């Protein structure tokens, strides 16, 4: 087993820059997720790790080994793709055994035993002689996983493996993947555009945008303390406010003006923000409570969705959209919501360039 | 057994010796000896002679001559490999019997003469001693392409039998090419479908509309000969007009003699340009002779003599001369004529009766000489080709 | 890992690169070098540049019709030429090629439909034999056509019996077009069948579920999937017929001469400069079309698809349950009508050839076959022996297969990404089809048979090895054109999965990609074998002075004075040996197909 390191990796396809200086550290045995919208570079990063893409610059290290010039077949990686990529002309058993043609079976087992073991691991025991075409999507993906793991790779790379599956299956399968991953303790890089999935299974996540890494950290940390507005908005729902510091103040906490409204925000370091600094902060929908006294605004109710255990209401406050979680369906078409100063998280201060029109976007 | 062989030896030796003597004598005296003599020799026993020589000449000739080595003879493929009959195998066998230390090797590159001409152009060794199947077109092309450089060298002087070659067939002013046979281009027509047109002019009349198949003068020797024949007959100024009338009268112009003859045999049209020896074949294969009528136009037939020549590169002078002399011998002349179904080029060939009866000779053989063709023929053919293709 | 395994793996890693270099080398030696020595003649005269001949040719209305004054920059003559010879020789050649292409597609497509969509006894055999016309020497085709469509042939007999009257069908543009269709419609059929067998039926089902009737589903969904293959067939047909010459010489008559006929006669006259100029023009036209096509193809192959063809319909349904509908009945009637036309065009001439081989001047005879036996037994070393020809043909065919498949697949892999440069390389790789056969032959004669002076030695390339290499050069473009579009459609992640599992590039190709595109590989292999069996021009040149002659060469050499009997007998042997080989190849290859 081995850790993984990317140093300042860049890659362009013609005019299009796919990766601009990506650096990452993945610990040995870690379940590491690259999450971001499509086109952010996460798949290219994975392909760079696998050796499918040559780099324009930068380095990829597996443990102590630099991988420049090492062909994919020599990297000891297992890859699972979104569309399963099973070999249609081989049986399930032959698919799983394929990698054993080139590498010794781990633990000196016989090939058949190894195949059986892997199929058992993915709950497909006895499927050896089936035709891949005869399997369901979830079964195919599990075959693909078994195939990738069969030779005992150092690194497992999963490229949107669940995207083609329905929601229920996705949840089952991701638990299974996570279970297998922790059982084997294999270093895993997981690519997904689904933030919920990313948060659910990962030891750490890297949020990527526009060819670069925005933030790396444990799921809770990244979710709770997004460092950029992009991360704040991409990971889960969020209400982002942009305004400026209205007072000097001492100690923690400032008053921030957004439009005509003042908000008290606690999340400031002592010397962090001067008066007039531009500030972006966010409040999670569940922290925006109806009828709250502090930092309260009155907004028009635009739409309400029933989520089962709660309701999600979309509000319009002075042309800005706000999202809020409610335990009851609102009765009026106007709603007063507020948040505690300590529930606001400051994303950035003084960085006007990255904080343009704030919440006004549709 | 031994005694019988000895007797046979004796006879054969005498016969061969005689033939040799007569040859030598006649060459000295006259070139115009008539064919009847040759004919008599044949009827007397050409069969037994060849039979006998097969087993006997060996020891006899070795003592006489002392030639050895390999003679590489280049020729066109059907001269050695045609399924009907070809003179090549017989020539090799008979010559090697006379000269046991000599091996004759045939070379038949697909491009025939052009192959050697191109070798010369590219400055590559020729790798053959002589070529059998040279015609006047070849000579003109060689001289045009190579200028002063010689592909062939004059080879007539050392030949004992050269005197027997008919004067009017000697088509090379430099005597590089020694004629060994000739053909006459004529019409062959199905007598049940068409009458003998007899004249060139008749071919352009309604009666013969769509009736004639000829070959392309750019790609087939017979086609070229027929074109030259029309030029000879109609004149350099008028031949293109004549061809315009032929085309208007729906003449079919196919790529090769085989294409044309196949089309004719399948009844596409009743007349085809071919050789005046057509009936020899027809008779040999028991075909209906009324379907194989030979027609000469205006009493003419266009003569197309073939010659052999020694490559200038070859040092095998003696072998080449011996082989050429052998080809010109009365016996070989008869065999070549019969097997190649062409007329012999000499006055003394042993021709079987079949040939006398079915091979037809025009009243007036015509042909262009080397001098007449040189500098003109390319232009004539080009103009013709452009008119035919451009006019469609 | 032992040392040996390490070395093998080292080689395996570089296999594609090594094969690429080897392919380039073979092409350079056997094709580009010989051809360029001839092309150079267009503008080189006695070691100096000379554009006079090229200029003359390009501005000659005889060749270029109304384009000639455009090349000349003199526009005043246009109207005059337009009235006189608007097309010129090149224009006419393109015109007849276009007609031939249309005819070949019209005749070939229904065949592809029947073979891909219907199950009936003998289907596989017929599919194997579709390629037969491809290998027939032109003289055989000419004989077949004269015997079948000729003034006294069965077709005219039938017309006469029907009271229509006899028609003169040969010596016309129509005859050339039909003969070209005879050669090339099978090509269209074969290429399209392979594509039809790899369509995704789910897409048709989707269209049907969205409300499309069968015809709309066919037009909107199936046609786009088949179009690249149909266009491949059409392109190859156009390129071939654009440079056709023996069939034009034999069946059309000189009035219908093509550029290649002209090139052939110019080369015979050793008029190299003009011949080379015309040959370059031919090549430019063919390659420009090829490039245009590849640009189209590269846009198509982006949408990958899984091979998931619908099940074949039974032509003879066991129970009449589903056969009752009117449309199904009409379709069967149309197929029978097509089968009749196909029988007339394909079976008629071929059967006539066979009949000719047992017909002597006086009725039925086996004398021509006796000749073959006799020649085999008694023939001298310098003569052509039928057995040697058969053996050589089969050996060269098999060897060509072994060389052309890797070459074609390598080129397909290397040009698979379909960028501009890959497209140009792909176009260049198609050049062996786009260069005049006459010029290739001349180049080989000069460059290979005569040899080159190197370090005081004359290096010659001829005999069996050169013949196989030349056949492979002629054959591999077919492999490329059959494999490349399908390979482009293989999901990239399938290959990458194999790589990640430890397979080298070439292993992944062999284990995964090729089995997935087996239909295309099999079609390419069949073409490669057929090209080798039928190849004449370069074989006859490279076999000079050796006993490396093949069956078509034997056919040509057996053309006797005034008797084509032995040639037709040899041609029938060629037909029989080839048919048998294709059935065997198909049976062997069939096991490999998915």
Band (B25; pLDDT cuts 50, 70, 90): very low
Band (A356; pLDDT cuts 50, 70, 90): very low
Chain C adjacent subunits, 3+ CB pairs under 8 A: A, B
Distance of residue C67 Cα from the nearest chain B Cα, in angstroms: 15
pLDDT reported for residue B60:
39
Q: In this structure, is residue C136 part of a structural domain?
A: yes
Of A267-271, B251-255, C265-269, which one has max mean pLDDT? B251-255
On whether both A127 and A218 belong to a single domain, the answer is yes
What span, in angstroms and rounded, lies between the C-alpha atoms of C432 and C429? 7
On whether both C61 and C106 belong to a single domain, the answer is no
On whether both C348 and C241 belong to a single domain, the answer is yes
What span, in angstroms and rounded, lies between the C-alpha atoms of C437 and C241? 12
pLDDT reported for residue B53:
40
Give chain B positions within 8 Å (CB) of C251. Answer: 259
On whether both A220 and A252 belong to a single domain, the answer is no
Q: Is the pLDDT of residue B40 over 80?
A: no
Is B376 an 8 Å CB contact of chain C? no
Contact C511 A52 (CB under 8 A): no
Is B255 an 8 Å CB contact of chain C? yes
On whether both A28 and A105 belong to a single domain, the answer is yes
On whether both C190 and C58 belong to a single domain, the answer is no
Q: How many CB pairs under 8 A join A and C?
A: 79
We report the CATH number of the domain holding residue C504 as 1.10.3720.10
Is B249 an 8 Å CB contact of chain C? no
Residue B232, CA atoms < 13 Å, CB-side half-sphere: 21
Domain finish residue from A226, A256, A288: A226
Distance of residue A187 Cα from the nearest chain C Cα, in angstroms: 15
On whether both A201 and A66 belong to a single domain, the answer is yes
Residue corresponding to tokens 């390319």: B378
Tens-place pLDDT, residues B259-314: 888 889 888 899 999 999 999 988 888 888 999 999 999 999 999 999 999 999 99
Tens-place pLDDT, residues A285-327: 988 888 777 888 889 999 999 988 889 999 999 888 899 998 8
Contact C561 B341 (CB under 8 A): yes
Q: In this structure, is residue C37 part of a structural domain?
A: no
Is A61 an 8 Å CB contact of chain C? no
Give chain A positions within 8 Å (CB) of C497. Answer: 79, 81, 85, 87, 144, 147-148
Q: Is the pLDDT of residue B7 over 60?
A: no
Give chain B positions within 8 Å (CB) of C376. Answer: none
On whether both C59 and C113 belong to a single domain, the answer is no
Is C90 an 8 Å CB contact of chain A? no
- The strand pair at A187-192 and A155-159 is best described as parallel
Q: Do chains A and B touch (3 or more CB pairs under 8 A)?
A: no
Domain finish residue from A186, A202, A226: A226
Q: Which of A244, A269, A241, A268 is nearest to A256 (CA)?
A: A244
On whether both A334 and A243 belong to a single domain, the answer is yes
Contact B263 C139 (CB under 8 A): no
Quote the number of domains for chain C.
Answer: 2
Whether residue C169 contacts residue C175, with contact meaning beta carbons closer than 8 Å, is answered with yes
Neighbours of C19 (CB within 10 A): 18
Q: In this structure, is residue C450 part of a structural domain?
A: yes
Q: In this structure, is residue A232 part of a structural domain?
A: no
Q: Which of B220, B298, B199 is nearest to B263 (CA)?
A: B220
Q: In this structure, is residue A231 part of a structural domain?
A: no
Distance of residue C26 Cα from the nearest chain A Cα, in angstroms: 28
What span, in angstroms and rounded, lies between the C-alpha atoms of C490 and C200? 13
Buried b (16+ CB within 10 A) or exposed e, A327-362: eeebeeeebebbbebebbbbbbbeeeeebeebbeee
Give chain C positions within 8 Å (CB) of B286. Answer: 361-362
On whether both C80 and C92 belong to a single domain, the answer is no
**Cα–Cα distance list, B337 to A218, B66, B97, C507 (Å):** 103, 29, 21, 65
Give chain A positions within 8 Å (CB) of C504. Answer: 71, 73
Tens-place pLDDT, residues C410-427: 999 888 766 778 888 888
Contacts with C, B 169-228, CB within 8 Å: 210, 216, 218-219
Quick check: helix, strand or coil at residue C520? helix
Q: In this structure, is residue C215 part of a structural domain?
A: yes
On whether both C513 and C402 belong to a single domain, the answer is yes
Domain finish residue from A170, A198, A226: A226
pLDDT reported for residue C322:
52
On whether both C335 and C224 belong to a single domain, the answer is yes
Task: Write out the DSSP string of B214-237.
Answer: EE-TTT-HHHHHHHHHHHHHH-TT
Structure-model confidence comparison of residues C594 and A89, the more confident one? A89
Distance of residue C413 Cα from the nearest chain A Cα, in angstroms: 16
Q: Which tokens belong to C84? A: 């006189």
Neighbours of C547 (CB within 10 A): 15
**Residue C249: closest C-alpha in chain B:** B255
Q: Point out the residue among B106, B261, B288 whose CB comes nearest to the CB of C562.
A: B261
On whether both C415 and C512 belong to a single domain, the answer is yes
Quote the number of domains for chain A.
Answer: 2
pLDDT reported for residue C435:
87
**Residue C384: closest C-alpha in chain B:** B81
We report the CATH number of the domain holding residue A217 as 3.40.50.300
Distance of residue C511 Cα from the nearest chain A Cα, in angstroms: 9
Number of residues that make up chain C: 594
Percent of chain B with pLDDT over 90: 62
Query: Whole-number mean pLDDT of chain A?
Result: 87
Contact C501 A88 (CB under 8 A): no
Give chain B positions within 8 Å (CB) of C454. Answer: none
Domain containing A308: what range? Answer: 237-360
Q: In this structure, is residue C252 part of a structural domain?
A: yes
Contact C254 B77 (CB under 8 A): no
Contact A99 C499 (CB under 8 A): no
Quick check: helix, strand or coil at residue C66? coil
Q: In this structure, is residue C218 part of a structural domain?
A: yes
On whether both C96 and C79 belong to a single domain, the answer is no
Give chain C positions within 8 Å (CB) of B138. Answer: none
Determine which of C40, C172, C179, C254 to mutate to test the interface with B (most B C-beta atoms within 10 Å): C254
Is A151 an 8 Å CB contact of chain C? yes
Neighbours of C459 (CB within 10 A): 10
Q: Point out the residue among A51, A89, A147 whose CB comes nearest to the CB of C501.
A: A147
On whether both A68 and A141 belong to a single domain, the answer is yes
We report the CATH number of the domain holding residue A305 as 2.40.50.100
Residue corresponding to tokens 């004669």: C445
On whether both A187 and A63 belong to a single domain, the answer is yes
Is A306 an 8 Å CB contact of chain C? no
Whether residue A352 contacts residue A278, with contact meaning beta carbons closer than 8 Å, is answered with yes
Contacts with A, C 287-326, CB within 8 Å: 306-307
Contact A71 C306 (CB under 8 A): no
Is C362 an 8 Å CB contact of chain B? yes
Give chain C positions within 8 Å (CB) of B253. Answer: 253-255
pLDDT reported for residue C557:
84
Determine which of A87, A94, A96, A161 to mutate to test the interface with C (most C C-beta atoms within 10 Å): A87
**Residue B74: closest C-alpha in chain C:** C545
On whether both C131 and C148 belong to a single domain, the answer is yes
Give every residue of chain C whose pLDDT is below 70, as ranges: 1-5, 81, 83, 300-310, 316-324, 417-418, 560-562, 589-594
Domain containing C76: what range? Answer: 42-86
The values of phi and psi at residue C231, to 5°, are -70, -35
pLDDT reported for residue C5:
64
Q: Does an H or E element contain A255, and which?
A: strand A254-258
Q: In this structure, is residue C578 part of a structural domain?
A: yes
Q: Is the pLDDT of residue B59 over 60?
A: no
Give chain B positions within 8 Å (CB) of C150. Answer: 263, 266-268
Structure-model confidence comparison of residues A2 and C578, the more confident one? C578
On whether both A207 and A335 belong to a single domain, the answer is no
What span, in angstroms and rounded, lies between the C-alpha atoms of A100 and A114? 9
Is A52 an 8 Å CB contact of chain C? yes
pLDDT reported for residue A248:
61
On whether both A207 and A307 belong to a single domain, the answer is no
Contacts with C, A 75-104, CB within 8 Å: 75, 77-79, 81-83, 85-89, 98-99, 101-103
Q: Point out the residue among A79, A101, A103 whose CB comes nearest to the CB of C497.
A: A79
Task: Write out the DSSP string of A12-39.
Answer: EETTEEEEEEEEEEE-TT-EEEEE-STT
On whether both A277 and A180 belong to a single domain, the answer is no
**Residue B259: closest C-alpha in chain C:** C250
Whole-complex ipTM: 0.82
**Residue C502: closest C-alpha in chain A:** A73
The pTM assigned to this predicted structure is 0.80
Structure-model confidence comparison of residues C133 and B202, the more confident one? B202
Percent of chain B with pLDDT over 70: 83
Is C47 an 8 Å CB contact of chain B? no
On whether both A199 and A286 belong to a single domain, the answer is no
- Bridge partners of B343, per DSSP, are B182
Sign of the C-alpha dihedral, residues A141, A144, A150, A154?
negative
Mean pLDDT for A277-281 is: 85
pLDDT reported for residue A249:
58
Whether residue C393 contacts residue C386, with contact meaning beta carbons closer than 8 Å, is answered with no
On whether both C448 and C528 belong to a single domain, the answer is yes
Percent of chain A with pLDDT over 90: 43
On whether both C178 and C214 belong to a single domain, the answer is yes
Whether residue B250 contacts residue C133, with contact meaning beta carbons closer than 8 Å, is answered with no
Q: In this structure, is residue C503 part of a structural domain?
A: yes
Instruction: Tell me which fold the domain B2-183+304-358 belongs to.
Output: D-Maltodextrin-Binding Protein; domain 2 (3.40.190)
Is B81 an 8 Å CB contact of chain C? yes
On whether both A190 and A274 belong to a single domain, the answer is no
Tens-place pLDDT, residues A118-163: 999 999 999 999 999 889 888 999 999 999 999 999 999 999 988 8
Q: Give CATH 3.40.190.10 domain extents, chain B.
A: 2-183+304-358, 184-303+365-390
Contact C491 A98 (CB under 8 A): no
- Taking domain B184-303+365-390, whether its CATH number is 3.40.190.10 is answered by yes
pLDDT reported for residue C550:
92
């Amino acid at each position: 087993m081995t850790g993984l390191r990317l140093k300042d990796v860049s890659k362009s396809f013609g005019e299009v820059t796919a990766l601009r200086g990506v650096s990452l550290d993945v610990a040995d045995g870690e379940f590491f997720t690259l999450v971001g919208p499509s086109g952010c570079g996460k798949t290219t990063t994975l392909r760079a790790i696998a050796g499918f893409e040559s780099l324009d610059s930068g380095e990829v290290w597996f443990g102590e080994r630099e991988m420049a010039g090492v062909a994919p077949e020599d990297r000891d990686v297992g890859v699972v793709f979104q569309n399963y990529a099973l070999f249609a002309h081989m049986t399930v058993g032959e698919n799983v055994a394929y990698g054993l043609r080139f590498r010794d079976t781990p633990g000196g087992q016989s090939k058949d035993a190894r195949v059986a073991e892997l199929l058992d691991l993915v709950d497909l025991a006895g499927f050896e002689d089936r035709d891949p075409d005869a399997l369901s999507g979830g079964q195919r993906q599990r075959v693909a996983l078994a195939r990738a793991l069969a030779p005992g790779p150092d690194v497992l790379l999963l490229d949107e493996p669940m995207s083609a599956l329905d929601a229920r299956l996705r949840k089952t399968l991701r638990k299974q993947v996570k279970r297998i991953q922790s059982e084997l303790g294999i270093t895993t890089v997981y690519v997904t555009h689904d933030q919920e999935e990313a948060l659910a299974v990962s030891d750490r996540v890297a949020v990527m945008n526009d060819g670069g890494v925005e933030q790396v950290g444990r799921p809770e940390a990244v979710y709770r303390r997004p460092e950029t507005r992009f991360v704040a908005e991409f990971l889960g729902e969020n209400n982002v406010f942009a305004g400026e510091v209205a007072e000097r103040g001492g100690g923690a906490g400032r008053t921030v003006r957004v439009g005509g409204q003042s908000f008290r925000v606690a999340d400031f370091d002592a010397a962090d923000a001067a008066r007039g600094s531009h500030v972006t902060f966010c409040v999670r929908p569940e922290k925006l409570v109806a009828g709250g006294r502090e930092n309260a605004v009155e907004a028009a109710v635009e739409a309400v969705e029933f989520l089962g255990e709660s309701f999600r209401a979309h509000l319009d406050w002075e042309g800005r959209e706000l999202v809020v979680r409610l335990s009851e369906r609102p009765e009026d078409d106007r709603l007063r919501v507020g948040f505690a100063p300590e529930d606001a998280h400051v994303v950035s201060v003084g960085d006007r360039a990255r904080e343009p029109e704030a919440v006004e976007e549709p | 057994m031994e005694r019988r062989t000895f007797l046979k030896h004796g006879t054969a030796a005498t016969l061969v010796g005689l033939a040799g003597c007569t040859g030598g004598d006649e060459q000295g005296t006259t070139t115009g000896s008539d064919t009847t003599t040759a004919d008599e020799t044949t009827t007397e026993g050409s069969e037994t002679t060849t039979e006998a020589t097969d087993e006997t000449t060996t020891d006899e000739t070795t003592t006489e001559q002392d030639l050895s080595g390999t003679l590489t003879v280049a020729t066109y493929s059907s001269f050695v490999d045609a399924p009907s009959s070809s003179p090549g195998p017989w020539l090799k066998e008979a010559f090697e019997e006379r000269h046991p230390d000599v091996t004759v090797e045939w070379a038949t590159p697909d491009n025939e003469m052009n192959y050697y001409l191109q070798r010369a152009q590219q400055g590559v060794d020729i790798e053959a001693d002589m070529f059998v199947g040279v015609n006047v077109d070849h000579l003109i092309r060689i001289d045009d392409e190579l200028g002063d450089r010689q592909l062939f060298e004059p080879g007539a002087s050392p030949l004992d039998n050269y005197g027997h070659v008919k004067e009017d067939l000697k088509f090379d002013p430099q005597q590089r090419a020694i004629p060994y046979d000739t053909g006459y281009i004529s019409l062959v027509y199905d007598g049940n479908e068409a009458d003998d047109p007899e004249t060139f002019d008749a071919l352009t009349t309604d009666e013969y509309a769509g009736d004639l198949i000829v070959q392309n003068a750019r790609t087939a020797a017979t086609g070229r000969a027929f074109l030259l024949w029309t030029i000879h007959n109609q004149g350099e100024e008028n031949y293109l007009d004549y061809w315009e009338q032929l085309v208007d009268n729906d003449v079919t112009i196919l790529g090769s003699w085989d294409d044309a003859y196949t089309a004719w045999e399948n009844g596409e049209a009743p007349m085809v340009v071919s050789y005046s020896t057509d009936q020899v074949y027809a008779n040999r294969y028991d075909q209906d002779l009324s379907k194989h009528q030979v027609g000469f136009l205006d009493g003419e037939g266009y003569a197309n003599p073939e010659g052999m020549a020694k490559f200038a590169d070859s040092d095998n002078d003696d072998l080449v001369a011996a082989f050429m002399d052998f080809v010109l011998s009365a016996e070989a002349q008869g065999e070549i004529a019969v097997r190649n179904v062409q007329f012999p080029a000499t006055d003394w060939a042993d021709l079987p009766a079949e040939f006398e009866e079915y091979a037809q000779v025009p009243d007036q053989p015509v042909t262009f000489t080397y001098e007449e063709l040189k500098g003109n023929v390319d232009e004539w053919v080009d103009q013709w080709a452009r008119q035919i293709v451009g006019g469609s | 890992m032992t040392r040996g395994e390490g070395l093998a793996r080292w080689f395996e890693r570089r296999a594609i690169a090594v094969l690429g270099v080897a392919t380039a080398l073979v092409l350079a030696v056997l094709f580009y070098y010989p051809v360029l020595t001839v092309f150079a003649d267009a503008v080189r005269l006695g070691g100096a540049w000379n554009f006079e001949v090229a200029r003359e040719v390009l501005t000659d209305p005889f060749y270029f019709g109304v384009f000639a004054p455009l090349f000349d920059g003199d526009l005043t003559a246009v109207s005059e030429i337009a009235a006189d010879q608007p097309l010129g020789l090149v224009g006419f050649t393109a015109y007849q090629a276009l007609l031939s292409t249309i005819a070949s597609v019209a005749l070939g497509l229904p065949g592809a439909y029947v073979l891909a969509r219907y199950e009936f006894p003998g289907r596989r055999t017929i599919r194997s034999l579709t390629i037969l016309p491809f290998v027939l020497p032109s003289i055989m085709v000419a004989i077949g056509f004269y015997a079948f469509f000729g003034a006294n042939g069965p077709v005219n007999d039938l017309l006469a019996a029907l009271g229509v009257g006899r028609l003169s069908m040969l010596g016309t543009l129509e005859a050339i077009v039909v003969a070209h269709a005879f050669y090339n419609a099978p090509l269209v059929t074969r290429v399209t069948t392979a594509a039809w067998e790899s369509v995704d039926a789910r897409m048709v089902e989707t269209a049907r579920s969205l409300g499309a009737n069968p015809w709309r589903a066919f037009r909107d969904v199936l046609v786009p999937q088949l179009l690249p293959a149909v266009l491949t067939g059409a392109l190859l047909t156009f390129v071939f017929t654009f440079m056709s010459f023996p069939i034009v010489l034999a069946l059309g008559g000189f009035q219908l001469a093509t550029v290649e006929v002209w090139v052939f006669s110019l080369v015979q006259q050793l008029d190299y400069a003009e011949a080379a100029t015309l040959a370059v023009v031919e090549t430019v036209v063919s390659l420009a079309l090829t490039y245009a096509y590849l640009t189209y193809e590269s846009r198509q192959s982006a949408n990958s698809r899984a091979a998931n063809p619908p099940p074949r319909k039974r032509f003879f349904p066991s129970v009449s349950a589903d056969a009752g509908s009117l449309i199904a009945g009409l379709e069967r009637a149309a197929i029978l009508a097509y089968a009749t036309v196909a029988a007339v065009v394909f079976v008629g001439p071929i059967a006539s050839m066979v009949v000719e081989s047992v017909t002597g001047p006086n009725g039925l005879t086996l004398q021509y076959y006796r000749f073959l036996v006799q020649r085999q037994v008694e023939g001298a070393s310098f003569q052509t022996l039928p057995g040697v020809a058969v053996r050589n043909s089969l050996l060269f065919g098999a060897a060509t297969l072994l060389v052309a498949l890797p070459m074609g697949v390598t080129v397909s892999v290397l040009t698979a990404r379909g960028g501009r440069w890959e497209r140009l390389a792909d176009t260049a790789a198609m050049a062996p089809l786009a260069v005049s056969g006459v010029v290739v032959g001349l180049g080989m004669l000069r460059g290979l048979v005569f040899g080159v002076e190197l370090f005081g030695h004359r290096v010659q390339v001829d005999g069996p090895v050169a013949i196989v290499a030349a056949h492979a050069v002629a054959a591999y473009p077919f492999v490329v054109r059959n494999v490349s579009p399908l390979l482009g459609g293989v999901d990239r992640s399938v290959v990458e999965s194999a790589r990640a599992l430890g397979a080298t590039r070439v292993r992944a190709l062999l284990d995964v990609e090729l089995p997935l595109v087996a239909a295309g590989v099999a079609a390419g292999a069949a073409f490669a074998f057929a090209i080798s069996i039928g190849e004449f021009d370069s074989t006859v040149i490279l076999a000079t002075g050796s006993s490396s002659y093949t069956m078509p060469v034997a056919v040509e050499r057996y053309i006797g004075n005034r008797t084509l009997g032995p040639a037709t007998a040899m041609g029938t042997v060629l037909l029989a040996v080839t048919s048998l080989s294709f059935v065997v190849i198909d049976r062997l290859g069939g096991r490999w197909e998915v």
